[in-house]
Chains A and B, each alone.
Chain A
């Protein structure tokens, strides 16, 4: 079952923060985050494998709340390069990664 992302789209000014949420009606075993710029391939951001896990690099981090069956991606002090569509992916059974519908992030100068 496809995870649900919110919001569907965000427009920010450079330097502002954003939060993208990903939730599932079924138990989550892991959450994967990818970013895809227009006309390019998706790029891996991070994977969270267990409840309570938090990860981050640069100013992008994520948390995974296993009990609430949701994950959030945090973008701090956004840069122009953060623009793109962000997808969360959850495992639907062994080896099957299902992506959410995506969140389009636009960063304006």
Chain B
């Protein structure tokens, strides 16, 4: 299984809502990432988990809260988002940090 599975695929939420994005991999990878991608732009790194511990937070606003419950799962909790947070959120994993990364299909988030 060489897949990274993200749910949901699409999400529309209001600015007062709380929602979570989920990411799952069963490749035994020990590094997992959240990226944000705006249209026609490259993916921007948000968070890196290495061996289930948060190793990098790229100065992401606190309304985004990552969680790694175990080595296969990665969540991104969303609260009080702004319309400018609308984007494609990509999860990725790699055997160790920054080797070949496998990306999920992403969650397309719209904040209204």
Q: From residue 36 to 55 of chain B, which have CB atoms closer than 8 A to chain A?
A: 40-45, 48, 50, 55
Assembled-state Cα–Cα distance A43/B41 (Å): 16
Assembled-state Cα–Cα distance A42/B31 (Å): 17
B103 beta carbon closer than 8 Å to chain A: yes
User: Contact size class for A?
Assistant: 20 to 34
Assembled-state Cα–Cα distance A87/B101 (Å): 13
In-complex Cβ contact of A95 among B4, B42, B50, B104 (8 A): B50
B90 beta carbon closer than 8 Å to chain A: yes
In-complex Cβ contact of B103 among A30, A32, A42, A102 (8 A): A42
Q: Which residues of B contact A98 (CB under 8 A)?
A: 45
- Shortest CB-to-CB span from A84 to chain B, Å, is 13
Q: Which residues of B contact A41 (CB under 8 A)?
A: 4, 90, 103-106
Assembled-state Cα–Cα distance A102/B43 (Å): 10
A60 beta carbon closer than 8 Å to chain B: no
Smallest Cβ-Cβ distance to B102: which chain A residue:
A44
Q: Which 6 A-B pairs have the closest CB atoms?
A: A99-B42, A41-B103, A95-B97, A44-B100, A42-B103, A41-B105
Q: Which residues of B contact A (CB under 8 A)?
A: 4, 31, 40-45, 48, 50, 55-56, 58, 90, 97-106
25 contacts between A and B (CB under 8 A): A30-B98, A32-B101, A41-B103, A41-B105, A41-B106, A42-B90, A44-B100, A44-B101, A44-B102, A87-B42, A87-B43, A91-B98, A95-B31, A95-B50, A95-B98, A96-B45, A96-B48, A96-B58, A96-B98, A97-B101, A98-B45, A99-B42, A99-B43, A101-B42, A102-B42
Other A-B pairs beyond A95-B56, A96-B45, 17, CB < 8 Å: A2-B42, A32-B101, A41-B4, A41-B105, A42-B43, A87-B42, A87-B43, A94-B97, A95-B48, A95-B50, A95-B55, A96-B48, A97-B101, A99-B42, A99-B44, A101-B42, A102-B42
